Structure 1
């Protein structure tokens, strides 16, 4: 998907791309990314833009106190000298990231001023573009134990994290287990979905190659702790294929 610069940037998209949201705010933003393609494109644009900024500049240690001085000079905070700035609700996460980025750039410029003139110019490092997330709507099966609505899922290949919203579907004394089914039709266990409104599963390194567009995610209801064998033993209550965001 093309990720041109948004005309009217959405800071919620930036917060989601930079992993600054938690709890219900993250769950709501994830559901929005699954339902709103324009919002999903902004999330992808922020990821690519910030990945490029990080890769562009070599790592340096900013001078002590530089972040506090920059934040104190920002009118949004309205701070005075010698006092730690207090973030404004809804604005702080983005400006904190912007401040750190500015501090890094200022430190690089200061370092360039003191380097000898004959020092070689720093090499430009190619920007690493983050891999596009994969999404799925895990639709309920024709089973009394199935969820009432599709469960949105988001997989981030760079981190190996897979999030499923509305995953609290297993009855008491049972576990909801997540599976990946590839072209061979063989299910592979990925993990147990916790009893929470949004379950997070860290995919093992050996299983990450299994998750690609077209791979089917499935949820079965199993004994506590998961199926005793390599295949589901309980009813499969929801399935859905992965696709590129």
Structure 2
């Protein structure tokens, strides 16, 4: 909502959503291209960031127990075809990319959950294994993918930040590389601009822990023709707790 109480225009709404970090990967890429070509839109995004910063600063930090966030993540219904759910998932996963995601998370929690009664967690609640996360970056440090591993469901969720249609002649193949032997295990392909959940069988899930690397290689259509990556590794990162 704007300062005057009027509804935001489409442009203002997009600028606000980009400043909050709640756009999907494809929407974010489109917004950033628009910022590069439209100075007025870029200024609108900066204006919203300045508005958001003091609001986030006023939110008193609260340290949840180690069990809260894993439960929230597992309670979210993963549906890559639902734009609203994908936007919300992209918002929380963006915390691995930079501090802006953390500030936006504090603001959104205050707005949406501030008027609800507190959730009481039983003192004797069983221990929950934490989620592991990784930002997959290029050699230059640019994040291209975000990965999250749920040790309870034994599933890896990988999100591509690459704009759709960037390279129609190649595919992006995901690899799990444990530090024990350094041997890549293929986890299949991920489409640009989408999120994919990959269930891991017992032989691979035992190798997914802190320090295990997740890599994405650029391969010919159909994937690698050998046991490991046959094309260049576009991005790589190690799993760990946030």
Residue 241 of structure 1: which of 229, 232, 238 is its match?
238
Equivalent residues of 2:145, 2:162 under 8 A apart: no
The answer for the alignment partner of 1:28 in structure 2 is: 91
CA positional deviation for 1:29: 1.4
Query: 1:221 aligned to 2:215?
Result: no
Q: TM-score, normalised by structure 1?
A: 0.52
Equivalent residues of 1:167, 1:194 under 8 A apart: no
Deviations 1:143-192 (A, max 9, x none): xxxx9534322111111222233344662032111111122221111221
Equivalent residues of 2:174, 2:214 under 8 A apart: yes
**Bigger fraction of residues in helix:** 2
Deviations 1:1-37 (A, max 9, x none): xxxxx7498xxx675452157211111112136646x
Deviations 1:194-226 (A, max 9, x none): 233333322233211111111111110112232
Residue 127 of structure 2: which of 113, 126, 129 is its match?
129
The answer for the alignment partner of 1:177 in structure 2 is: 173
Equivalent residues of 2:171, 2:219 under 8 A apart: yes
In structure 2, runs of 5+ residues without a counterpart are: 1-60, 79-84, 106-111
The answer for the alignment partner of 1:19 in structure 2 is: 76
Deviations 1:214-244 (A, max 9, x none): 1111110112232122111111111111112
Say how many residue pairs are matched.
161
Q: TM-score, normalised by structure 2?
A: 0.52
Superposed counterparts of 1:196-215, under 5 Å: 196-215=193-212
* Structure showing greater Rg: 1
The answer for the alignment partner of 2:15 in structure 1 is: none
In structure 1, runs of 5+ residues without a counterpart are: 1-5, 43-89, 102-125
Distance change >3 Å, CA 157–CA 34, structure 1 → 2: farther
Equivalent residues of 1:190, 1:207 under 8 A apart: no
Equivalent residues of 1:176, 1:193 under 8 A apart: yes
Distance change >3 Å, CA 18–CA 173, structure 1 → 2: same
Superposed counterparts of 1:15-94, under 5 Å: 16=73, 18-20=75-77, 22-32=85-95, 35=98
CA positional deviation for 1:131: 1.0
Q: Distance in 2 between matches of 1:225 and 1:128?
A: 43
Q: C-alpha root-mean-square deviation of aligned residues, in Å? A: 4.2
